[in-house]
Amino acid sequence: MKNQNPIHVFATWKVKEGNIENILEILKTVSAESIKEEGNLFYKIHQGNTDSNTIVLFEGYANEAALDEHRNSAHYKDLVVGQLIPLLESREVILTSPIDA
């Protein structure tokens, strides 16, 4: 059974030298398309203060099915997988569930 709780994604990208402007420009489109998705709660782009080639994405999805829908979307496949990932040195993605404390 799929997780019905909200899922937050923290993705840390290390961008290859000379590609940050291109990455940020493409991410504007990815963000705009992602927030249109029914199950998207938010899509925030952060850039490292000490290393401008580090990008951290903070994304929220209503549940696991919404995250799957995002990963199967045309903009994810075309832009993230097709154009962005080849410009990265490394990529770490952590899926989390918020805890009420």
Set out the domains of the chain in order of their start, with CATH numbers.
7-43+62-96 (3.30.70.100)
Provide the 8-state DSSP code for 91. E
Segment 62-77 mean pLDDT: 96
pLDDT digits (tens, 9 = 90+) for 4-38: 899 999 999 999 999 999 999 999 999 999 999 99
Q: Which of 1, 5, 2 is nearest to 60 (CA)?
A: 5
Tokens of 52: 């401008």
